[in-house]
Amino acid sequence: MGNKLFHPLATGFLVWILTLPISGVVLDGYFFSFHWQPPLVLALAAFLFHSGILAVRWWHSFGKLLKEKRGLGDCPQGFDFAVDQSSLSRSTRTLPKGAILMALPMIVGGVLPFFLNKYWLTVAILALIYVLLALGLNIVVGLAGMLDLGFVAFYAVGAYGYALGHEYLGLGFWSSLPLGAMLAAGFGVVLGFPVLRMHGDYLAIVTLGFGEIIRLVLNNWVSFTGGPNGVRVPGPTLPGLEFTRRAKEGSIPVHEFLGIDYSANHRIVFIYLVLFMVVLATIFLVTRLKNMPLGRSWEALREDEIACRSLGINHVTVKLSAFALGAMIGGIGGVFFAASQGFVNPTSFTFFESALILAIVVLGGLGSIPGVIIAAIVITILPEVLRDFSDYRVLVFGLAMVIMMIWRPRGLVRSVRPVFREHVR
Amino acid sequence: MDATILAQQAINGLILGATYGLIAIGYTMVYGIIGMINFAHGEIYMVSAYLTAIFLALAQFAGITSIPATLVFVLFFTLLVTALHGWFAERIAYRPLRGSNRLAPLITAIGLSLVLQNYVRLSQGARSQGIPSLMQGSFILPIGSAGGSVQITHVQLLIIVVAFLGMAVLTFIMHRTSLGRACRATEQDLTMAALLGIDTDRIISIVFVIGAAMAAVAGVLVSLNYGSFDFHIGFITGIKAFTAAVLGGIGSLPGAMLGGLILGLSESFFSGFVNTDYKDVFAFALLVLVLIFRPSGLLGQPMVTKV
């Protein structure tokens, strides 16, 4: 019983010692100043947190005790074949509800650009780009179970593919989109081949190294990529029509063609709409793939590689396909990022971006498509709404990753699969 | 090739390599025991660099003026607090996940490294910090033709001495004491060690503490040597130290030091004679190549997975 007070107190005290030098003494040149409050607050938080856990545990065991006294809480003998009904009979029973659920976001998403101002439209584009990236990473990490810490490399390949393709080859948006996707997929295969033999941790480190190599090369190969100065990227065009006030020779600006006034928003609305279509197509593709044999083998490989290989699943093609598909979606995201920013430079492709996309996938639930989409939207919009909070954004992401893994390792929205539960007493 | 420049680069590489080796010990021991990469280890090193500066300032505040006393004060307290960070990291982010799938602790490790990085950035500011040089002076050794000479500063000498001393003490602990025996037993077979009455949770905690303490030593020495650091340094140094651990054979203590020295020397020669801009690319490429072609490293045994 003495533990009830002692353990939380000890936690608080340890946290105090831990944080006192770093956040209690702030360096200022060769001197410093004291800031006593933050460590105290942190220690108090740790104390309350630990007390809370103990209290919850106590109530839990108390409730159990009551149940046992009343003779409840017994599991029946034998097997309980619990198949999740909703996921099996979705195609027949819940179709109308599902259709409404699908149609609503589609309509809202499609109508959205005509009501938003320019600022929120760019935020929406960013959110959609992150949805794409998260869907791509979700294939690699969530479905196939390979921790890819260099996903941003494929994003960079897509973005720079468009930018440099325009710079050196004169490619436009529409030719860059498939080419960027293919290029990124090619990089995915090139990276995928050597790492196939590796375990989770080594794979993570190699992909991280690969991502950093790409970024450092982009940063240092000044004569080709422009280095830290970046490359200018043109906006997308409708074939033959441009989103500028005055068109270049041989083409007509969109606003003249349609007979409406010029507005700088047209370009952004256009990007948004195209991106929205692409995101819908990707969601459709990924949902279908997940239920196809390929998707099933990804998940099977994630659960137990040795068993899968003994059963004759070709782990090379399965893993490579996951890598290539994920990379391809990342590349498409990169092309859109370049098109919407009008400018790319290496600072957009740091390890932090990879970690952020990973955080989205983890928070949404590894392997759960709706969860990942919601998480991507929430995580990109939230910092815009809470501007004052933006300093603490990354700290909170990190904390959330730790807490999620401990409490809900399958994410906030778990993906449901038929399960077989066995209750034997 | 000029012998003088070669010798100077070799010395620089040796010093770089010694620090990589010290940090690599944390990776290699943790990997040896629980088979995971402690991704937050680089941040622990970064924290220790900050703590060095803070305790240096506090030493001046407390009126400690003699240089050896300051050094001991700084080293002692930095070691203490950093080791506590290592212990806490294991307790919070890894212990609750023991026995879950392999992905989960890796993700918490990344989360923890983001937390540590941003915690330091938020409380100490994002700009780079500096510390005054404690030990000035250097030895000048004549090497090569035409009166060429190489320079070793006192701090650099200290780094090499402390790094090898640390390695020697650690090797002694691991091979001659009962604690070391328990560590090695846990490393061989965690379940069996637990069955035979070794408190494996305690051993794992101790391993984290030792790893963090070694990172702290590296942090103190490097910040004394370079005099400046920021909240980013943990990431890249961490990856390089990990490369060193893999190069030497992850799980092996002498391997960590050997890998560190090889990496430090080759990085120093690469940046001296080929290209400074691409020295990080070189380190990463080395990591990828080692993992592809010789994942068991120079001194490690290849792992066999039995079905």
Interface touch B37/A204, C-beta < 8 Å: yes
Q: How confident is the model at residue B43 (pLDDT cuts 50, 70, 90)?
A: very high
Quickly list H helices, A70-172: 85-88, 95-111, 118-137, 152-164
Q: CA–CA separation, A261 vs A255, rounded Å?
A: 6
Q: State the smallest CA–CA distance between residue B121 and chain A in angstroms.
A: 10
Residue A77 pLDDT: 41
Q: What are the Cα distances from residue B169, in Å, to B173, B213, B299? A: 6, 13, 20
Q: State the smallest CA–CA distance between residue A201 and chain B in angstroms.
A: 6
Q: CA nearest A376: which of A350, A397, A390? A: A397
Q: CA nearest A199: which of B296, B185, B204, B298? A: B296
Pairing of strands B129-130, B138-142: unpaired
* Chain B positions in Cβ-Cβ contact with residue A195 (cut-off 8 Å): 292
CA terminus-to-terminus distance, chain B = 53
Q: Is B302 left (phi over 0), alpha (psi -120 to 50) or beta?
A: beta
Q: What are the Cα distances from residue A312, in Å, to A211, A293, A300, A301, A307? A: 32, 13, 12, 11, 9
- Residue carrying the six token digits 């190489």: B150
Instruction: Output the CA torsion sign for B119, B122, B127, B131.
Output: negative
Q: What are the Cα distances from residue A386, in Å, to A130, A155, A412? A: 18, 27, 21
Q: CA nearest A297: which of A314, A280, A276? A: A314
* Chain A positions in Cβ-Cβ contact with residue B279 (cut-off 8 Å): none
pLDDT surpasses 90 at B274: no
Nearest CA in chain B to A146: B103
Task: Tell me the pLDDT of chain A averaged across its residues.
Answer: 79
Q: Residues A110-122: what's their mean pLDDT?
A: 78
Higher pLDDT, B164 or B292: B164
Nearest CA in chain A to B91: A11
The separation between CA A238 and the C-alpha centre of its own chain, rounded to angstroms, equals: 30
Residue A167 pLDDT: 82
Per-residue pLDDT tens digits for A42-75: 888 888 888 888 888 888 887 777 777 665 444 4
From the list B106, B112, B281, the residue facing A200 with the nearest CB is B106
* Chain B positions in Cβ-Cβ contact with residue A198 (cut-off 8 Å): 291, 295
Residue A23 pLDDT: 80
Q: CA–CA separation, A273 vs A128, rounded Å?
A: 10
Q: How confident is the model at residue B47 (pLDDT cuts 50, 70, 90)?
A: very high
Residue A74 pLDDT: 46
- Helix (H, G, I), strand (E, B), or coil: what is residue B294? coil
Q: CA–CA separation, B165 vs B188, rounded Å?
A: 26
Residue A160 pLDDT: 92
Structure tokens at A273: 């709409």
Nearest CA in chain A to B123: A23
* Total Cβ atoms within 10 A of residue A238: 15
Residues 6+ apart with CB under 8 A from A90: A98
Burial status of residue A325 (CB atoms within 10 A of its CB: 0-12, 13-18, 19 or more): buried
Nearest CA in chain A to B116: A395
Interface touch B123/A38, C-beta < 8 Å: yes
Q: How confident is the model at residue B46 (pLDDT cuts 50, 70, 90)?
A: very high
Residue A248 phi/psi, 5-degree rounding, is -75, 175
Task: Tell me the pLDDT of chain B averaged across its residues.
Answer: 85
Residue A91 pLDDT: 46
Residue B82 pLDDT: 93
pLDDT surpasses 90 at A154: yes
Structure tokens at B261: 């020295």
Per-residue pLDDT tens digits for A198-242: 766 788 888 888 888 888 888 888 888 887 888 888 777 766 666
Q: Residues B202-211: what's their mean pLDDT?
A: 92
* Chain B positions in Cβ-Cβ contact with residue A400 (cut-off 8 Å): 111
Long-range CB contacts (within 8 A, 24+) of A218-225 = A218/A156, A218/A160, A218/A346, A218/A349, A219/A346, A220/B277, A220/B278, A220/B281, A224/A164, A225/A160, A225/A164, A225/A346
- What is the pTM (predicted TM-score) of this model? 0.83
From the list B106, B123, B130, the residue facing A201 with the nearest CB is B106
Higher pLDDT, A325 or A171: A325
Interface touch B96/A392, C-beta < 8 Å: no
Q: CA–CA separation, B118 vs A398, rounded Å?
A: 9
* Chain A positions in Cβ-Cβ contact with residue B85 (cut-off 8 Å): 18
Q: What are the Cα distances from residue A152, in Å, to A173, B17, B164, B211? A: 21, 30, 39, 30
- Residue A29 is which amino acid? G
- Helix (H, G, I), strand (E, B), or coil: what is residue B151? strand
- DSSP assignment, residue B177? S
Residue A333 pLDDT: 93
Q: Residues A266-285: what's their mean pLDDT?
A: 86
Q: CA–CA separation, B56 vs B48, rounded Å?
A: 12
Higher pLDDT, A283 or A256: A283
A304 within 8 A of B305, measured Cβ to Cβ: no
Q: How confident is the model at residue B167 (pLDDT cuts 50, 70, 90)?
A: confident
Residue A368 pLDDT: 83
Q: Does B282 touch chain A (CB under 8 A)?
A: no
**Mutation for B interface: A141, A366, A406, most B CBs within 10 A:** A406
Q: State the smallest CA–CA distance between residue A412 and chain B in angstroms.
A: 15
A378 within 8 A of A329, measured Cβ to Cβ: no
ipTM value of the model?
A: 0.83
State the helix-helix crossing angle for A265-291 and A293-303, rounded to 10 degrees.
Answer: 70
Percent of chain A scored above 90 by pLDDT? Answer: 11
Residue A249 pLDDT: 58
Q: What are the Cα distances from residue A126, in Å, to A122, A268, A338, A371, A377? A: 6, 11, 11, 18, 9
Residue A331 pLDDT: 93
Comparing B80-89, B142-151, B196-205, B222-231, the range with the smallest average pLDDT is: B142-151
Q: Does B242 touch chain A (CB under 8 A)?
A: yes
Comparing A66-70, A114-118, A389-393, B266-270, the range with the smallest average pLDDT is: A66-70
Q: How confident is the model at residue A423 (pLDDT cuts 50, 70, 90)?
A: low
- DSSP assignment, residue A413? S
Q: Does A83 touch chain B (CB under 8 A)?
A: no
Q: CA nearest A216: which of B80, B121, B277, B10? A: B277
Per-residue pLDDT tens digits for A317-329: 888 999 999 999 9
Structure tokens at A293: 């044999």
CA terminus-to-terminus distance, chain A = 32
Q: CA–CA separation, A395 vs B119, rounded Å?
A: 7
Comparing A79-88, B48-57, B73-82, B253-262, the range with the smallest average pLDDT is: A79-88
Burial status of residue A167 (CB atoms within 10 A of its CB: 0-12, 13-18, 19 or more): middle
Angle at A20 between CA B116 and CA B104, to 5 degrees: 25
Burial B111-121 (b: 16+ CB within 10 A, else e): bbbbbbbbbbb
Interface touch A22/B50, C-beta < 8 Å: yes
Among residues 17-76 of chain B, which lie with CB inside 8 Å of chain A?
31, 35-37, 47, 50-51, 53-55, 57-58, 61
Instruction: Output the CA torsion sign for B240, B241, B243, B244.
Output: positive
Q: Residues A5-27: what's their mean pLDDT?
A: 81
B207 within 8 A of B190, measured Cβ to Cβ: no
Structure tokens at A124: 């929406």
From the list B104, B112, B129, the residue facing A27 with the nearest CB is B129
Q: What are the Cα distances from residue B56, in Å, to B45, B120, B161, B163, B218? A: 17, 17, 21, 21, 16
Burial A76-85 (b: 16+ CB within 10 A, else e): eeeeeeeeee
State the helix-helix crossing angle for B279-293 and B253-273, rounded to 10 degrees.
Answer: 140
Higher pLDDT, A197 or B216: B216
- Helix (H, G, I), strand (E, B), or coil: what is residue B305? coil
Per-residue pLDDT tens digits for A373-418: 888 888 888 877 777 777 787 888 888 888 888 887 776 666 566 5
